[in-house]
Structure 1
Amino acid sequence: MFDELISKLKHGNYLTLETTPQHEPTMENIIEKIKEFDLASKIDGFSTTDSPLAKLKYNSLFAAMKLQNEFKKPVVTTLTMRDRNKIALQSDILGANDFDIRTFLCLTGDPAKMSDQPNTKGVFEGNSTMLLQIIRSFNHGMDFAGRPFKKQPKEIYPFAVTNSYARNFKTLENKMHKKIQEGAVGIISQPLYDLENAKMLLESFQNAKENVSEHKQDTQLIFGIFPIIKLRTALFLSAQVPGIHVPQSWIDALEKANNISEEEERKVGLELNHKLFQDLKAFHPKIHLMTANNFELANELITQ
């Protein structure tokens, strides 16, 4: 299962779909929506988020187990440094290994001050680099303290993230270089909305791979897509989210459509995103699709 996913990442077309577990004790609503649109047959794998924005959600590891068992597709499970120290992180990864949960997206995590739980304190014993280092230790048969396991864990595949845009792309290169050095097999970008942006990011990624060990040259860049079908979303991302660039042409097109009707706004948004999706597939067919559990929208983009 995982060998096939990593092979597609390195040598072919690759498409994963993000799922966001909810503030409820079940994954059934998400599973039913995925079944409704037969999405499992149209993608290479899923991902699960880990209480994004520090809001309490169903656990990402259990969500991954549910999805893998239900659809027989690999799941990239997000783990953040915000909520766990190095003991808890290693314990989670050890237990997950036994249940064949072996691909992890390593994140530092959103600040605990954003939480919906009163007086929450973040752990942040390290950043995402430490999590990559922990996984590298596991893949060499020992824990982070250098103590060997009696039984070698099954191979673990770590993923990392990068901003998709910067005024100075050299800063992105340096950060990506470090993550490649620490063993990330894939680096997922923040959402992209422009083919030229994608070309600049891929060039920076290729520069970041210089002077790394030969066996790390297979690390791949994965383009993130978060479809925008509303003007207010485009304005928010453009003004409030660092590391993302929304072209003015998108904002103008959505504003013009918004002045006509809500239906026209959605139609124009779909056209923009579908063109982007097709352009990225033709240019560099390694994509991670994020739709905030709007699986109908995901299906429209994938199958149009």
Structure 2
Amino acid sequence: MKEKLFSESFLTLETTPPKLPTIDPMIEKLKQTEAYKYVDGFTTTDCPLSRLKYNSIIAAFKIQQTFNKKVIATMSMRDRNIIALQSDLLGANDLNVTNILALTGDPAKMSDQPNAKAVVEGSSIKLLEIIRAFNSGMDYAGKEFKIKPKPVNPFAVTNSYAKNFISIEKKIYKKVKHYALGIITQPVYDMEIVEKMLDIRDKIRNKFKDERKKFDIVFGFFPITKLKTAQFLHSHVPGIYVPDSWIEKLIKAHKINEEEEYKRNLFNNLQKKHPKIHIMTANRFEIVKELF
């Protein structure tokens, strides 16, 4: 996954494991829609919006086994202390799940589980520090492992919009400083924001003289074609910013083919500008084939 990220193009597809004791129906859907043919790899989410779902690491293992493509498994700080984080990383390492997306996690108050409490011993930075220790052959307490873990490739996330983009730059810099290889953005709907994010990337790259200079941005792409969906994401999903211009387009679009055109144009523009994209479809995998 690291080598592909640092190549000319990189295309991943987000999968959200179901609230079931198996992910076989989701894997079957990936097969039926043929979405797996168009992407370089996948991600598995970790109980997004604090809703109970199947384990992200085991899901990543099963998807890798099925499609022979690498998967980035999300790990949230919300639900684990430093003991559980390291335990999960050790198990993931044995399963060859070595690409990890470090998240702080959505607030526990959003959960569908009554009285759920967050652990949150720290932000995603602490998980990046733990991964750095593992890659040095040690646990977070500085004790050497008898068998050194396989190298772990850490990824992180960023918002794609802020009134002051300096705040985004500072947060990305901090994550890259802690050796995040790839920074996946929340969905983008404005090519001007894409330009700003690439400028931030270049500024941060110039601050490093080692391997961190190679880090890259991966743009989130969520093909919203329904006004109701756009308004829900903008109002209720933390970190997602849907610009007024996009909502206005959806208000004016009365025909399905117009909505499809907006989706395809945005994807094509992203591919031309920076073909490193993370597709989010809320498990509507059939959308992937429609983009090509």
Q: Counterparts of 1:110-121 in structure 2 under 5 Å?
A: 110-121=106-117
In structure 1, the residue matched to 2:228 is 232
| Counterpart amino acid of residue 202 in structure 1 | L
* 1:287 maps to 2:277: yes
Kept in 1, the 8 Å contact 2:78–2:120? The answer is: yes
In structure 1, the residue matched to 2:258 is 268
In structure 1, the residue matched to 2:72 is 76
In structure 1, the residue matched to 2:6 is 10
Return the alpha-carbon distance in structure 2 between the equivalents of residues 67 and 27 of structure 1. Answer: 9
| Counterpart amino acid of residue 292 in structure 1 | A
Q: 1:235-287: CA deviations, max 9, x gaps?
A: 33344556444343322221122xx4xxx2x4322211111111111101100
User: Taking every aligned residue pair, what percent have the same amino acid on both sides?
Assistant: 52
Return the alpha-carbon distance in structure 2 between the equivalents of residues 67 and 195 of structure 1. Answer: 32
Return the alpha-carbon distance in structure 1 between the equivalents of residues 236 and 204 of structure 2. Answer: 27
Q: Which has the higher contact order (CA 8 A, sep 6+)?
A: 2
Return the alpha-carbon distance in structure 1 between the equivalents of residues 109 and 127 of structure 2. Answer: 22
Kept in 2, the 8 Å contact 1:174–1:208? The answer is: no
| Change in 2 beyond 3 A, CA 1:245/1:117 | closer
In structure 2, the residue matched to 1:25 is 21
User: Any idea what SS the aligned residue of 1:76 has?
Assistant: strand
| Counterpart amino acid of residue 162 in structure 1 | T
In structure 2, the residue matched to 1:179 is 175
In structure 2, the residue matched to 1:220 is 216
Kept in 2, the 8 Å contact 1:180–1:209? The answer is: no
In structure 2, the residue matched to 1:105 is 101
Greater Cα offset, 137-146 or 209-218: 209-218
User: Any idea what SS the aligned residue of 2:220 has?
Assistant: strand
Return the alpha-carbon distance in structure 2 between the equivalents of residues 252 and 175 of structure 1. Answer: 30
In structure 2, the residue matched to 1:135 is 131
Return the alpha-carbon distance in structure 1 between the equivalents of residues 65 and 239 of structure 2. Answer: 35
Shift of 1:109: 0.6
Q: Counterparts of 1:138-217 in structure 2 under 5 Å?
A: 138-217=134-213
Shift of 1:296: 1.0
| Change in 2 beyond 3 A, CA 1:243/1:88 | closer
| Change in 2 beyond 3 A, CA 1:84/1:149 | same
Return the alpha-carbon distance in structure 2 between the equivalents of residues 177 and 292 of structure 1. Answer: 29
Q: 1:16-46: CA deviations, max 9, x gaps?
A: 0000001111111111111112222211000
Return the alpha-carbon distance in structure 1 between the equivalents of residues 249 and 50 of structure 2. Answer: 33
Shift of 1:77: 0.1
Return the alpha-carbon distance in structure 1 between the equivalents of residues 243 and 188 of structure 2. Answer: 10
Compute the TM-score of the two structures, normalised by the length of structure 1: 0.92
Kept in 2, the 8 Å contact 1:113–1:120? The answer is: yes
Q: 1:185-233: CA deviations, max 9, x gaps?
A: 1000000001111001111122223322421101110000111010122
Kept in 2, the 8 Å contact 1:188–1:224? The answer is: yes
Structure 1 unaligned regions, length at least 5: none
Kept in 2, the 8 Å contact 1:223–1:287? The answer is: yes
| Change in 2 beyond 3 A, CA 1:233/1:218 | same
Q: How many residues align?
A: 292
Return the alpha-carbon distance in structure 1 between the equivalents of residues 268 and 64 of structure 2. Answer: 28
Q: 1:134-155: CA deviations, max 9, x gaps?
A: 0000000000000001111111
Compute the TM-score of the two structures, normalised by the length of structure 2: 0.96
| Counterpart amino acid of residue 172 in structure 2 | M
